[in-house]
Structure 1
Amino acid sequence: MASPLRVLIHGGGIGGLTLAAALARRGHTVEVAELRPGLEALGVGIIQPSNALHVMGEIGVLDACLEAGYEWEVLTIADPAGNTLAAVPQPRMGDAPPANGIPRPALAAILGDAAVASGATLRFSATITDLTDDGDGVDVTLSDGSGGRHDLVVGFDGIGSALRTRLYGEKYTPEYTGFANWRVTVPRLPEVRGFVMSTAGESAKALLTPISDESMYLGAVFAEAEDFRPDPARAHEQLADRLTMFAGPVAAALAAVTDPSAVVYSRISQVTVEEPWHVGRVVLAGDAAHACTPHLAQGAAMAVEDAVVLAESLDTERDVPAALTAWEARRRPRAMWVQAMSRAVLRQETGAPTTAEEDELLKTGIPGAAHALVQPY
């Protein structure tokens, strides 16, 4: 499109800020409405696989991410005692490194700074209270009293998306998988120089992910009742109880956890919007449209890919509706493949029954999936 657009992005997470930077760099007028009072990201750290790092290069923040994080090239699979079973080199997309671990707050700050430096406006403690799409534009009112008319509204507001509910009601509520993540930041052990995954039977998985020279996060995935929540006074002890079968670096990392408030617990859920991801000039992206389990470490990568492909589609198509149609045709097959593959790996790791389609996907394996995902998005 030749003329600059007015775009409202609902949600200032990883995907929303990436889109804000990508669009503002192209000369569009961009506002981000974020419900939280600031960019203080929840959680501990995040893996940026090569395709996500390629996106970071597209919006000009690759070097900042690598400086704030910890770059690595090999995925290590270990037994519960910490002995290496396999060391799997990770593929590259173009000139991007194979992988990087980074603290979530650092990534939020980098993306927020990039969005603002590109010309986007960030509005905190703000959410959509009214929205009317007349076909030629979208009139929006925000909870902070601001608003206006926009050419496009993008919902990057996460797995619990309020914009998705506005479009589809309660039809696409998150589906709990029966498993949950436990994560806590600890000092990086010298021997942990890349992502380490260790499993014990069908019920326990421990992960070590370096996110800076000084720190890493210990992650654990376990089956948990839907209504379970850690005891605020004993969360570190409850995590230790679940990891008694692990020795070596996992046990050493666990020994450093003495503060229950440092433990971050999150249920693993998924969402699949089966209808079109856009209705008129309002579109859902990232976890709002296709949240997946974390078993390929591709959730955030799919969101940032969504962002740059949407910006590109708005460049190349004749109008907003055509751009949204082209964008979804390009993004849906890849995002749905990641979701299906991630779910199949979850079922395989936990001994749950798999379908014939999942069995076929599992022939690719996690290493094969990594190679598939460094192909152009």
Structure 2
Amino acid sequence: MTTPLRVLVHGGGIGGLTLAVALARRGHTVEVAEVRDELDALGVGIIQPSNALHVMREIGVLDACVAAGFAWEVLTICDPTGATLARIPQPRMDDAPSNNGIPRPALAEVLGEAARAAGAAIRFGTTITELADDGSGAEVTLSDGSSARWDLVVGFDGIGSPLRTRLYGDRFTPEYTGFANWRVTVPRQPEVRGVVMSTGNQTAKALLTPITDELMYLGAVFAEEPGFRPDPERAHEQLAERLTAFGGPVAEALSHVKDPDAVVHSRISQVTVDEPWHVGRVVLAGDAAHASTPHLAQGAAMAVEDALVLARSLDAEEDVAAALAAWEARRRPRAMFVQNLSRAILKEEMGAATTPEEDELLEIGIPGAAHVLVKPY
């Protein structure tokens, strides 16, 4: 496709900003509509595995990500006492690091600066209020009252995607898995130079992930009732209660957690849009189309892969419709592999029953999946 397009990206998260950079650098006119008032990324840190770092290289921000984060090469498996059971070197797609831990706000800043530098506009405090798609473009009104016509509208608006609801109603809503993720940022211990995963019985798993030279985050997954929410005044104590069986570096990390406000609790849900991810000139990507549990640390990686492959598909095809069809044909199998294996790992770790199809995926396991996912996307 040689004619530049006008593209509206609904959502200024990791995937949306990556798409904005990739498209703007190719000469397309790009605006990002972000409901938040600034790029104040929520959460603590994030893992960028090799395939995500490959995308960062392609959009020109790999060095900035590594400089803002903590690159690592080996996954360490420990028992609850902290004794090492295995050290597993991680594969890489090219000469970038195997993994990079990075604070979410730092990654948002890197991608936001790159999007602006490429020529994309970011419109804060706005969301889509009206959308009319006639098959050759979409007339969109935003919450700030502005209206414009776009050749393509891309929904990178997350697991609770308003654009998904606009397209499909309530057919594809987040499905709670029965588990929740607790995360908190703590000082990095010198020996934590890559992810350290401590597994207990089938009730808990804890991970330590370095995100800068000074910081790491403690993450833990537990089964939680659907209505559970942490006590705002006791969240740090509730986390400690759930991790009483863990010693070693996990216990050391917990000793630094004194503030309940520092603890981030999120329900683990997934979304599977099993109809086409695009309707006319509107397309869903990332968590809006295929949100996964975090057990392969590939959610954000799938989003940035979606973004880069969409930009490449628009390069390669003669029109938007053909590009969207080619993009989805390439992306759906890989995204579903990640979603299905992530869910199977969660169920296995927590002692839930698995299906024969999940058992087959579990034979690949986390180390095997890492080797699968460093292959070209």
CA positional deviation for 1:288: 0.1
Aligned twin of 1:129: 129
* Counterpart residue number, 2:27: 27
Q: CA deviation at 1:136?
A: 1.3
Task: Find the aligned partners of 2:157 and 2:183 in 1 and give their Cα distance.
Answer: 22
User: Residue 177 of structure 1: SS of its match in structure 2?
Assistant: strand
- Cα distance in 2 for partners of 1:241, 1:344 equals 26
Describe the SS at the equivalent of 1:252: helix
| Partner Cα separation in structure 1 for residue 147 and residue 372 of structure 2 | 41
Deviations 1:21-72 (A, max 9, x none): 0000000000000000110000000000000000000000000000000000
Is 1:6 the counterpart of 2:6? The answer is yes
In 2, distance between residues paired with 1:122 and 1:2?
24
Q: Shift of the alpha carbon at 1:95?
A: 2.1
Q: Is the 8 A contact 2:136 2:280 kept in 1?
A: no
Corresponding letter in the other structure for 1:183: R
Corresponding position of 1:162: 162
Query: Any residues of structure 2 matched to 1:1-377 within 5 Å, and which?
Result: 1-377=1-377
Structure-2 separation of matches of 1:157 and 1:303: 11
- Residue deviations 1:70-109, cap 9 Å, x none? 0000000000010110000000002221000000000000
| Structure 2 counterpart of 1:173, one-letter code | T
Structure 1 CA distance for aligned equivalents of residues 44 and 30 of structure 2: 28
Q: Distance in 2 between matches of 1:253 and 1:298?
A: 24
CA distance in 2, matches of 1:118, 1:314: 17
Distance 2:90 2:316 in 1: 32
Q: Any idea what SS the aligned residue of 1:22 has?
A: helix
Identity %: 78
* SS of alignment partner, residue 136 of structure 1: coil
Distance in 1, matches of 2:351 and 2:234, equals: 29
Q: Give the Cα–Cα distance (whole angstroms) in 1 for the partners of residues 7 and 164 of structure 2.
A: 17
The one-letter amino acid paired with 2:271 is V
Q: Distance in 2 between matches of 1:105 and 1:136?
A: 37
Distance 1:149 1:366 in 2: 44
Shift of 1:365: 1.1
Output the CA distance in 2 between the equivalents of 1:229 and 1:147. 39
- Aligned AA (2:195): F
Please identify runs of 4+ aligned residues in structure 1 that moved more than 2 A: none
Letter in 2 for 1:374: V
Measure the CA separation in 2 of the matches of 1:100 and 1:61. 13
**Residue 309 of structure 2 aligns to which amino acid in structure 1?**
V
User: Cα distance, 1:145 vs. partner?
Assistant: 1.5
| Alignment partners' CA distance in 2, 1:195 and 1:304 | 21
1:181-227 superposed Cα distances (whole Å, 9 cap, x missing partner):
00000000011110010111000101100000000000110001111
Letter paired with 2:27? G
User: What residue identity is the alignment partner of 1:290?
Assistant: H
Residue identity matched to 2:347: R
User: 2: CA distance between counterparts of 1:146 and 1:254?
Assistant: 48
**What does the per-residue CA deviation read over 1:104-151, in whole Å, with 9 as the maximum and x for residues that have no partner?**
000000000000000000000000000001111110000012230000
Give the number of equivalent residue pairs: 377
Separation in structure 1 between the aligned mates of residue 81 and residue 147 of structure 2, nearest angstrom = 56
Deviation per residue, 1:316-345 (Å, 9 max, x gap):
100000000000000000000110010110
SS state at 2:322 partner: helix
The whole-number CA distance in structure 2 between the counterparts of 1:228 and 1:354 is 25
Q: Give 3-state SS (helix, strand or coil) of 2:22's partner.
A: helix
Instruction: Tell me the TM-score normalised to structure 1 length.
Output: 1.00
Inter-partner Cα distance in structure 1 for 2:249 and 2:152: 49
Separation (CA, whole Å) in 1 of partners of 2:96 and 2:214 = 23
Any stretches of 5+ residues in structure 1 without a counterpart?
A: none
